[in-house]
């Protein structure tokens, strides 16, 4: 009887020992998995931070480009307005030139001293200024 009890006790001890080994091995696996989870969470946080920084950089560039586009649109609008004004002035000047070419040219007397003005031409024998007439 003793050997059967001893045999049963040894068998229980072996099963307990095997269970302890499995429990120890499982505990080590749990520690390993927890460590891997922590490493993966840190990597995830790092990656998330990098992507957030990239997004912020791209959003800043988008905003800067939007501002540049708005400034360019304003400049284009100003240039179009100036071109319209210049076309209008050109049309007015062209019309004035056409009207001036159709009108007879009127020579206005020059202002200034009387002897610097152009005198009418006189025929032969007409007295010059300050001379007396021959026939008189």
- pLDDT classification of 95: cutoffs 50, 70, 90: very high
Question: What pLDDT, on the 0 to 100 scale, is given for residue 5?
Answer: 83
Question: Is 125 within 8 Å of 134 (Cβ atoms)?
Answer: yes
The model's pLDDT over 11-54, given as tens digits with 9 standing for 90+, comes to: 889 999 999 999 999 999 999 999 999 999 999 999 999 999 99
pTM: 0.47
Compute the average pLDDT of residues 78-93: 97
Is 80 exceeded by the pLDDT of residue 132?
A: no
- pLDDT classification of 102: cutoffs 50, 70, 90: confident
Residue 58 vs residue 4, higher pLDDT: 58
- pLDDT classification of 119: cutoffs 50, 70, 90: low
Instruction: Give domain limits for the chain.
Output: 2-75
């Amino acid at each position: 009887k003793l050997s059967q009890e001893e045999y049963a006790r040894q068998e229980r001890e072996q099963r307990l020992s095997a269970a302890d080994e499995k429990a120890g091995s499982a505990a080590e696996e749990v520690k390993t998995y927890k460590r891997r989870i922590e490493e993966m969470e840190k990597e995830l946080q790092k990656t998330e931070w990098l992507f957030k920084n990239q997004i912020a950089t791209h959003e800043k560039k988008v905003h800067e480009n939007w501002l540049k586009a708005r400034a360019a649109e304003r400049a284009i609008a100003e240039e179009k307005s100036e071109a319209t004004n210049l076309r209008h002035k050109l049309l007015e000047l062209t019309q004035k030139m056409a009207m001036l070419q159709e009108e007879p040219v009127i020579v206005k007397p020059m202002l200034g001293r009387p002897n610097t003005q152009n005198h009418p031409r006189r025929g032969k024998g007409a007295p010059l200024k300050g001379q007396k007439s021959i026939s008189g």
